[in-house]
Amino acid sequence: MPRSSRRARPLRPMAGAVAALLATGLGLATLASAGATSPAADPKVVYLTFDDGPSPQYTAQILAVLARYRVPATFFEIGQNVTANPGLTDQAVHQGESVQNHSWDHPDLRPLSLADFNAQILNTDQAIRARTGRTPTCLRPPYGFVDKTVRARAAALGKTIKLWTVDPADWSRPGIHTIEQRVLTAVRPGSVILLHDGGGDRSQTVAALPTVLTTLQHRGYTFRLLCH
């Protein structure tokens, strides 16, 4: 899950296993769903989430689409991007979106020392709290890479780990129609949808979003915040 205010590089394709999943069109959904649980017991509820922002190019466009269709979303933001683009975090919160922790600069959290892990999370908490007045309660580890150490350390900081169940791999820019179809084919009641507002060219995500939202609404789905 990439970022806009850092050096331009794709952050997701880290391992051969990920590439193999992409070749089948599954993205990281298989990896993440193994550790993710759908939080909704109610029928026809889905959770829309965005990673890697805020981005000066795309976050405002996504917020505009969400406002147009009156859909709430949870944004897992990169700490250094919040510092670089504070007004966009302000805009998200004022619009009623949830802003949560996605680490300071998107490392794999598993091999980090305890001190480095805490710095990644607490520095991001501080950046978000300075804009929102609230400390994030949820953590989405970069790449969805989680082990028992990450879970224990996150819990010690008061964080609930939130992954996803639907990943159209929009970060790979597979095409607008492909993003739409991957989401719409995979969604079930309680699904957590992963999209990206930062980390690179997200124009396809912006373009696909209206069709995703209106189609799910026509199917009778409602949207809720994943974290509060």
Please list the active-site residues: 51, 196
Q: What share of the chain is helix, strand, coil (3-state, %, to 5)?
A: 45, 10, 45
Report residue 203 as tokens: 């124009």
Report residue 41 as tokens: 């017991």
**Rounded Cα gap, residues 18 and 216, in angstroms:** 28
How many residues in the chain?
228
Report residue 139 as tokens: 């953590």
Closest by CA position to 193, among listed 51, 62, 11: 51
**Rounded Cα gap, residues 169 and 174, in angstroms:** 8
Report residue 160 as tokens: 């609930």
Q: Is the peptide bond before 54 cis (omega within 30 degrees of 0)?
A: yes
Beta carbons of 190 and 46 less than 8 angstroms apart: yes
Question: Radius of gyration (Cα) for the chain, nearest Å?
Answer: 16
